[in-house]
Amino acid sequence: MIIADQLTKIYGRFAATKDVSFRISRGEIVCFLGPNGAGKSTTMKMLTGFLTPTSGTAKIAGFDMTTDRLIGAKHLGYLPENGPLYPDMTPYSLLRFFASVRKISKITLKSSLDRVIELCDLTSVIQKPIGQLSRGYRQRVGMAQALLHEPDVLILDEPTAGLDPNQIHQVRQTIRKIGEKKTILLSTHILQEVNAVASRVIFINKGQIVFDGSVNEFGKSTDDFDRRFQELTLNDCKAVSPMQT
């Protein structure tokens, strides 16, 4: 469902990513880890078609996101870090707006709205201005708009950044629930996220993949994750596993 094949993005003399390659199958929830500036957001923006790679290929549900971006976008839900929302709108009016942009038919509009409102637990705030909502609720509104068109793939960039512990728990619950039917790539630098939501870890450092394997292979505990993080970021590491097929 997600293919990164030798994705490289160069700005002048700086390579933000270098030959990034991995595959994610249907139904997987994968944590994309790495320190700040490692290339996580750049990789995700290339996967969504927001950025054009200098070289390499990004595919969503089989569609090349450089040449077939509009078709691929129909299969993709994207929540960027600090995704823009309209503070004067309510979650309900925002979702109706995105439904019109996505050309969701009037016949299915109500059921589509009801589905994401329930899934993201927005009923209690659905008619409140978004500007008055907590960051946790705003993140859920962002996820609801990303899910409105029933995409096969979700790409979430730092969805729990800046949230308090209760909000983090609520967002993780939503991600796990969504992950029962969707393919999810979840960018984070919060190591607790790994055990909480994922079965697989892809780790990027200095623009290159340095680890791709199961959560158990990455570590057995939070202390293991901390040590592993330091090992993979303090040394000039090489990729430890090939692109999975």
Residue 7 has a pLDDT of 98
- Please give the model's pTM, rounded to 2 decimal places: 0.87
Cα distance between the two ends of the chain: 11
Report the distance separating Cα 100 and Cα 157, nearest Å: 24
Handedness of CA 115, 178, 87, 126 (dihedral sign): positive
Tens place of pLDDT for every residue, the chain, 245 residues? 999 999 999 999 999 999 999 999 988 999 999 998 899 999 999 999 999 999 999 999 999 999 999 999 999 999 887 777 999 999 999 999 999 998 999 899 999 999 999 988 899 999 999 999 988 899 889 989 999 999 999 999 888 877 888 888 888 888 888 888 889 999 987 888 888 899 999 999 999 999 999 999 999 888 899 999 999 998 654 444 444 43
Backbone φ, ψ for residue 171 (5° rounding): -65, -40
Calculate helix-pair angle for 135-147, 106-119, nearest 10 degrees. 140
The CA distance from 222 to 214, in Å, is 15
Q: How far apart are CA 12 and CA 15, in angstroms?
A: 8
CA–CA separation, 221 and 19 (whole Å): 30
Measured at the alpha carbon of residue 202, what is the angle toward residues 160 and 193, in degrees to the nearest 5? 30
In sequence order, what are the residues at sequence separation of 6 or more whose Cβ sits closer than 8 angstroms to the Cβ of residue 232?
203, 205, 210, 211
